[in-house]
């Protein structure tokens, strides 16, 4: 059993993206209409190759430049996670811009959110997508909405914590795949328990990292909530230390954390990940801890969103770091794990 096979027994990653159907020729209007009689679709033509993406009931179709989107837009003007199309009750499909840098246009007009109509042209940079969908419910009375099945995405202020275990390959070679996979599974299970106890809104295993998301009310972060998130980081460090001691390991298990806040798209179904630049930056900040020589990198935005700001003397040292995918150096607070409890106390006292 490989490391990743073992870990994936614990986590599920939500519904798999729908594979597009492909055709080298653009569709005729009649053909597009025929395709949309079963499910609404999004059509994209790039370099003469046509791709059609069916929108399954209650599914979210992510659109952006990043390769992990359902519809990948290979143009520089597209943000990594640019927009989503979500199919709600019946054939009602809603396009939502995820606060992208260059915006999303429908039929030449910039939108933040729009219920799509048959034939709508979605423009992202130089790329055009066409929505094909039947009339909503074909004139019939819409089925009653159910809170248990209705699926939506909304933009919310979130704080994202990314935890990445370092030196996976080296550990697997030293201990063997099976033993290392067993240890990692124990660490992840412990991390899940900690995040749940600290009122994490959602968590997900992504590659060799764990992502925890806390959703905030309104456009501010309560001091007590951020203090609790930092306490979760301290709890995680203790779990790692205890694991090292109980497993008689030759050296410490190292991990880094990136913490960032901002607006992201959040769904209301299990397994739906947060999407947006705020999430991407949290992953990039974790990677930057190696360059910064620290364990924990906190985006300046996280501190700026606090309901009660810290006095200048209570702030950690601020640094700047070039973060992959972002054009300007990012202001961050670089900390070692030993500094996290004192920062949590100062944040709590300020609130």
Q: Per-residue DSSP letters for 89-154?
A: STT-EEEEE-S-SS-EEETTEEESEEE--TTPEEEETTEEEEEE-PPGGGGSPPPPP-TTT---EE
Q: Which of 60-69, 204-213, 295-304 has the lowest mean pLDDT?
A: 204-213
Q: What is the pLDDT of residue 298?
A: 97
* Predicted confidence band of residue 153 (pLDDT cuts 50, 70, 90): low
Query: Burial, 329: exposed, middle or buried (Cβ in 10 Å; 0-12, 13-18, 19+)?
Result: exposed
Segment 46-51 shows an average pLDDT of: 83
Strand ranges of the sheet holding 121-124, from the earlier edge strand across to the other edge: 21-23, 49-54, 41-46, 127-132, 121-124, 104-106, 109-111
pLDDT value, residue 326: 78
pLDDT tens digit sequence for 258-315: 999 998 877 644 444 567 788 889 999 999 999 999 999 999 999 999 999 999 889 9
Confidence of residue 224 (pLDDT cuts 50, 70, 90): very high
pTM comes to: 0.60
Q: Which pLDDT score is estimated for 208?
A: 63
How sure is the predictor about 199, in pLDDT bands with cuts at 50, 70 and 90? Answer: very high
**Stretch among 10-19, 120-129, 202-211, 224-233 having the lowest mean pLDDT:** 10-19
CB of 79 within 8 A of CB of 72? no
Confidence band for 98, pLDDT divided at 50, 70 and 90? confident
More confident residue, 122 or 182: 122
Distance CA 299, CA 303 (A): 8
Answer whether residue 18 shows pLDDT above 60.
no
Is the pLDDT at 138 greater than 70? The verdict is: no
Q: pLDDT by residue (tens digit) across 237-250? A: 999 999 888 988 88
User: What's the pLDDT at 267?
Assistant: 61
Q: Provide the angle, in degrees to the nearest 10, between the axes of the packed helices 223-246 and 340-350.
A: 160
- pLDDT for res 150: 40
Res. 21: pLDDT tops 60: no
Highest mean pLDDT of the ranges 119-133, 179-193, 254-268, 270-284: 119-133
* pLDDT reading at 126 higher than 70: yes
């Amino acid at each position: 059993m490989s490391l990743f096979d073992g870990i994936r027994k614990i986590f599920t990653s939500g519904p798999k993206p729908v594979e597009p159907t492909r055709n080298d020729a653009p569709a005729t209007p009649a053909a597009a209409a025929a395709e949309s009689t079963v499910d609404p679709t999004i059509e994209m033509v790039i370099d003469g190759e046509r791709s059609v993406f069916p929108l399954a009931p209650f599914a979210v179709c992510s659109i952006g430049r990043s390769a992990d989107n359902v519809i990948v837009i290979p143009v520089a003007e597209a943000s990594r996670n640019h927009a989503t199309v979500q199919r709600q009750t019946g054939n009602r499909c809603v396009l939502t811009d995820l606060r992208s840098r260059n915006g999303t246009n429908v039929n030449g007009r910039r939108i933040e959110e729009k219920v799509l109509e048959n034939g709508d042209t979605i423009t992202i940079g130089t790329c055009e997508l066409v929505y094909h969908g039947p009339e909503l419910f074909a004139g019939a009375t819409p089925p009653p909405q159910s809170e248990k099945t209705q699926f939506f995405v909304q933009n919310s202020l979130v704080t994202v914590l990314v935890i990445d275990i370092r030196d996976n390959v080296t550990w697997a070679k030293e201990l063997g795949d099976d033993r290392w996979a067993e240890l990692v599974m124990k660490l992840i299970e412990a991390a899940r328990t900690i995040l749940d106890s600290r009122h994490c809104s959602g968590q997900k295993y992504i590659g060799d990292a764990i992502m925890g998301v806390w959703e905030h009310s309104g456009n501010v972060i309560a001091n007590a909530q951020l203090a609790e998130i930092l306490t979760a980081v301290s709890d995680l460090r203790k779990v790692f230390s205890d694991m090292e001691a109980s497993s008689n390991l030759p050296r410490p298990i190292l991990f880094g954390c990136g913490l960032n806040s901002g607006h992201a798209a959040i769904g209301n179904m299990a397994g739906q990940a947060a999407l947006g630049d705020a999430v991407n930056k949290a992953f990039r900040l974790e990677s930057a801890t190696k360059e910064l020589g620290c364990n924990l990198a906190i985006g300046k935005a996280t501190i700026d969103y606090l309901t009660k700001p810290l006095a200048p003397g209570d702030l950690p040292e601020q640094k700047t770091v070039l973060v992959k995918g972002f054009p300007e150096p990012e202001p961050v607070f670089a900390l070692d794990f030993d500094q996290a409890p004192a920062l949590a106390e100062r944040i709590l006292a300020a609130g």
